[in-house]
Chain A
Amino acid sequence: MTNGETLWIKQARHGDDEAFGSLVEAYQKPVFNLCYRMLGNANDAEDAAQESFIRAYRHLRRYDPKRSFATWLLSIASHYCIDCLRRKQLPTMSTAVIPEETVPDTAAPNPERKIFSIEKQAEIQTLLERINPTDRAAIIFRYWYDYSEVEIAEALSLSVSAVKSRLFRARRELAKLWLSSQPSNGVKERRPHESPAL
């Protein structure tokens, strides 16, 4: 967190709306990305991200400045998305269409590579949407935000051991879903010595 952000938080806590607006501007991307990964489409993600900021604005006095503001904000967003998914009972599989302009152009001017990247993203999104919402949030925090198990526990209000078992369960499920989506000989192309774990 930068000094500017610390100051904005302090000012926003004293009712400075302009300072909170600066925080919205600074954190819109990570919050939106989390909501998108959780909900699987841009419209729901926009709505959830907006609502998360409204909740953060209303409960800003509850924020403990000793903790990370990003974690606090992402915690609000993830809880909101989990609630949405439970309430709406959204379908576990979607078409996972990613608007082209929202996918970052990763040092690849080649349009074929970009299409490949979009396809990969859609594949990942389809896999994510098929696992339990809280497990999904744990995976997103681990792989998109590089959070440790302790940080995930803090963000999702879980114990560290619960996070460990959720991550294990999610990885197992994702691997099995990936296997079932591959052609039968797709797995045999690799050899055991390729594994970095060994």
Chain B
Amino acid sequence: MSHQPYEKWLLSEEVISQQDKESLKIHLQECKSCQDLHYAWQAVEQEFAINAQVEPQSGFDQRWEIRLEKTRETRRQKRITVSIGITLGFSLLATWSILLADLTNFSLSSFLGNLFATLGQFVSRIIHILRGVESLFRAFPLAIPISAAIGVSLMAVVTLLLAFWTASLFKIYQPKQGVILK
């Protein structure tokens, strides 16, 4: 015996026509399965009607405040760990790149020798540039105030960028204030 659409009529919230109601009534008199389903659902629905709300133990909001603080601390620790991990990773990668660049001919003494030679070259180039600028100023004294203005502006920009960078780092790693509850 087919129990559709009777089961659907019994268990959904659809409003059914008078004719369908009659048809359902007749089916219920004949069908034990639909009868049982109908009475069982009525019983369950009656129990649902009690509708009791279960409440948390007192102090839920205080416990939530503590949990929020813990969550923040965990996230802060995670951010620090990730930052350290990235820095270490890059450092290791850079070191390995240098070492692997010429691994076959690598020796510590030649590596250090090259490093010092490169640094020496860099310093001598800086001195060379500074001397060139100095001789330029001697030849054109008017260029001095203009260059000074540009220099000061550049320094100001660099200082501002440094301040912004420091403030950003401080904001990232500073824990937020705790929640104050009423």
Q: Which residues of A contact B (CB under 8 A)?
A: 17-18, 20-22, 24-25, 28-30, 32-33, 36-37, 42, 45-46, 49-50, 53-54, 57, 98, 102-104, 106, 117, 120-121, 123-124, 127, 139, 143-144, 149, 164, 167-168, 171-172, 174-176, 178-179, 182, 187, 190, 192, 194-198
Q: How far is the CA of A88 from the CA of B8 in the complex (A)?
A: 33
Measured CB to CB, the closest approach of chain B to A144, in angstroms, equals 6
CB pair B50–A29 under 8 Å, yes or no, is no
Can you list 10 pairs linking A and B with CB atoms under 8 Å apart?
A: A21-B64, A32-B56, A45-B54, A149-B13, A171-B41, A172-B37, A190-B39, A194-B42, A197-B10, A198-B28
- Partner of A28 from the list B8, B9, B48, B60 (CB cut-off 8 Å) is B60
Q: Which residues of B lie under 8 Å from residue A168 when comparing CB positions?
A: 8, 11-12
Given A24-B60, A53-B64, A124 and B11 touching (CB < 8 A)? no
> What residues of chain B lie closer than 8 Å to A196, measured between beta carbons?
42
- Interface membership of B181, Cβ < 8 A: yes
Task: Please determine whether A104 and B25 come into contact, CB atoms closer than 8 angstroms.
Answer: no
Task: Please report the C-alpha to C-alpha distance between residue A163 and residue B61 in the assembled complex, in whole angstroms.
Answer: 33
The tally of CB-CB contacts under 8 A between chains A and B is: 151
- List chain A residues, Cβ under 8 A from B40: 175-176, 178-179, 182, 187
Stretch at the interface among B65-73, B120-128, B129-137: B65-73
Hey, which bits of chain B sit against chain A, CB under 8 A?
7-13, 21, 24-25, 28-29, 35-45, 47-57, 60-61, 63-65, 67-68, 71, 177-182
CA distance A18 to B54 in the complex (A): 26
- Which 10 A-B pairs rank lowest in CB-CB distance, beginning with the nearest? A21-B181, A175-B40, A17-B179, A175-B41, A143-B48, A32-B56, A171-B11, A36-B54, A179-B40, A28-B60
**Are B44 and A174 interface neighbours, CB within 8 A?**
yes
Known pairs A18-B182, A120-B47; A29 contacts B41 (CB<8 A): no
Contacting pair A50 B35 (CB below 8 A) = no
Q: Which residues of A are found within 8 Å of B64, using beta-carbon distances?
A: 21, 24, 28, 50, 53-54
Q: Closest chain A residue to B21 by CB distance?
A: A198
**Distance A182 CA – B42 CA, assembled complex (angstroms):** 14
Nearest residue, chain B, Cβ from A98: B54
Other A-B pairs beyond A24-B64, A117-B52, A197-B10, 10, CB < 8 Å: A25-B182, A28-B61, A42-B54, A42-B56, A54-B68, A120-B47, A120-B50, A143-B48, A175-B11, A195-B38
